[in-house]
């Protein structure tokens, strides 16, 4: 069985994929998107911190960065619509199907990065709080 962390990430990506279709949702892409690719949402894991220990349970905080990527004349509008839809999808069920204790927005960078002519990236970060057993990462606590 996969860890609670992996199941959380899969649930998150599945939820985003359903909400943002036909825009692709890519987890930790290893190669750059082709220029002809339309708006897309990139999902990056920034870290997983241990926040508390109680008995045989460990509270954790998984930080995820979502990046709306768009190109072209309406890139700002397309990226903004994508990140708005992603935000709604992430917070629609703050327990992510019972795996998480809570999901909260940490920050968003509304000053878009200009990668190259006509490309816009709008990042937003979220914290997913969850609990596991200290000796078994596959079990929720």
Whole-number pLDDT of residue 90:
96
Can you state the percent helix, strand and coil of the chain, rounding each to 5? 25, 45, 30
Give me the half-sphere count of Cα atoms (radius 13 Å) on the Cβ side of residue 6: 6
Give the model confidence (pLDDT) of 15-36 as tens digits: 999 999 999 999 998 887 777 7
Q: What is the pLDDT of residue 96?
A: 94
Who's near 31: CB < 8 A, 6+ residues apart?
A: none
Quote the Cα angle for 6-110-93, to 5°. 40
**What pLDDT, on the 0 to 100 scale, is given for residue 116?**
62
Helices (H), the chain: 4-20, 75-91
pLDDT given for residue 113 in this prediction: 55
Residue-wise pLDDT for 86-138, tens only, equals: 999 999 999 999 999 999 999 988 655 555 667 888 999 999 999 999 999 99
Domain ranges of the chain: 4-28+38-132
Predicted confidence (pLDDT) per residue in 46-75, tens digit: 999 999 998 899 999 999 999 999 888 888
Q: What is the pLDDT of residue 75?
A: 87
Residue 128 to residue 120: CA distance in whole angstroms: 26
Q: Which of 125, 138, 139 is nearest to 61 (CA)?
A: 125
Q: So what's the architecture of 4-28+38-132 in CATH?
A: 2-Layer Sandwich (3.30)
Residue 85, token pair as written in the block:
């839809």
Q: Give the model's pLDDT for residue 74.
A: 86
Question: CB atoms < 10 A from the CB of 130, how many?
Answer: 23
């Amino acid at each position: 069985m996969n860890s609670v962390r992996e199941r959380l990430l899969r649930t998150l990506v599945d939820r985003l994929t359903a909400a943002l279709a036909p825009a692709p949702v890519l987890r930790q892409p290893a190669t750059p998107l082709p220029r002809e690719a339309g708006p897309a949402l990139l999902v990056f894991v920034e870290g997983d911190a241990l926040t508390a220990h109680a008995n045989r349970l460990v509270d954790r905080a998984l930080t995820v960065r979502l990046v709306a990527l768009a190109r072209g004349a309406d890139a700002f509008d397309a990226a903004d619509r994508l990140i708005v839809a992603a935000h709604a999808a992430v917070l629609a069920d703050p327990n992510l199907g019972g795996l998480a204790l809570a999901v909260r927005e940490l920050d968003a960078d509304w000053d878009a990065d200009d990668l190259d002519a006509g490309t816009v990236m709008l990042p937003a970060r979220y914290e997913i709080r969850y609990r596991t057993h200290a000796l078994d990462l596959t079990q929720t606590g």
